[in-house]
Amino acid sequence: MPQKKCRVELLAHTPEPLALIYAAFRQCYHAGDVADMWEDLLSGAISREKQAEFVEKVIASGHASPVEHVSFTFALSGVSRALTHQLVRHRIASYSQQSQRYVDASAMDYVVPPAIAADPRALARFEACMDGIGSAYRELKALLEAGGRGKNANEDARFVLPQAAATSIVVTMNCRSLLQFFEQRCCSRAQWEIRGAARSMLEHCRRVLPEIFRHAGAKCERLGYCPEGEKFTCGRYPLPGRN
């Protein structure tokens, strides 16, 4: 049962994302039909710089809903079930996750927390636990198959699998959901694994659409202060009203 590392790949995104956001914003303030300017947006007759300037200005005013027209789809692999349990709490999104009911976990891969990996005694105990769980899964699966469960044995044997079990998931979010996701999960107080995945996702988004994601990240980076309060602040930024 090998250890796994997080891998984040951008599978797809809405074509011409800046032009589409610009058109959506303009429709809110434009008396005509933005479909008539679409070719100018694609041809460059309305420059990318002009589109970006307009979009950034309107977003700064607090009008953000038009960015929802653009979405990004990611493939995350080598992540733990602990991560995906947090990920799916972001509800304005679509998820397609590897099933433990249909996928045989007899050779279960798993994720090791860095703090455990750095401590030889903790790592030895962790790996022994993973080996024991793998053995229990295979034994239960064999017993259930022998008892007549057949291919359905997986769905019951999986109950012993840990949160460390590695999984793969496809995630689609629109830009507004991604901005909120990055605010929560790029924060230094976020759990280490999902924080790493979020930062990788943000790098992909910045390459495609820097006009929207240039200043994305933890809330403190946008606000210039820490909104978490004295009890929870990491100290990177001052609390409100403090220098």
User: Quick check: pTM over 0.85?
Assistant: yes
Residues 12-25: tens digit of each pLDDT:
999 999 999 999 99
150 and 195 belong to one structural domain: no
- What is the tally of structural domains in the chain? 2
pLDDT at 165 over 90: yes
| Cα Rg of the chain, angstroms | 23
CATH number of the domain enclosing 195: 3.30.1360.170
Whether 157 and 38 share a structural domain: no
The answer, yes or no, to whether residue 1 has pLDDT greater than 80, is no
Per-residue pLDDT, 159:
97
Same domain, 23 and 95: yes
Specify the pLDDT at position 186: 96
Q: What is the pLDDT of residue 32?
A: 84
Residue 2: pLDDT band by 50, 70, 90 thresholds? Answer: low
Per-residue pLDDT reduced to its tens digit, 25-71: 999 888 889 999 999 999 999 999 999 999 988 888 888 899 999 99
Mean pLDDT, to the nearest integer, of 111-125? Answer: 97
Cα separation, 154 vs 139, whole angstroms:
11
199 included as an active-site residue: no
How far apart are alpha carbons 207 and 210 in whole angstroms?
6
Same domain, 76 and 125: no
Same-domain pairing of 88 and 194: yes
* Beta-carbon-side half-sphere exposure of residue 239 (alpha carbons within 13 Å): 7
Active-site pick, 26, 158, 185, 195 = 185
Mean pLDDT of all residues belonging to the chain: 93
Residue 175 pLDDT: 97
Containing domain of residue 208, as a range?
1-100+165-243
pLDDT(240) > 70: yes
Q: Is the pLDDT of residue 237 over 90?
A: no
Same-domain check for residues 138 and 205: no
**116, 137, 164 - which closes a domain:** 164
pLDDT (tens digit per residue) in 184-224: 999 999 999 999 999 999 999 999 999 999 989 998 888 88
Position 4 pLDDT exceeds 90: no
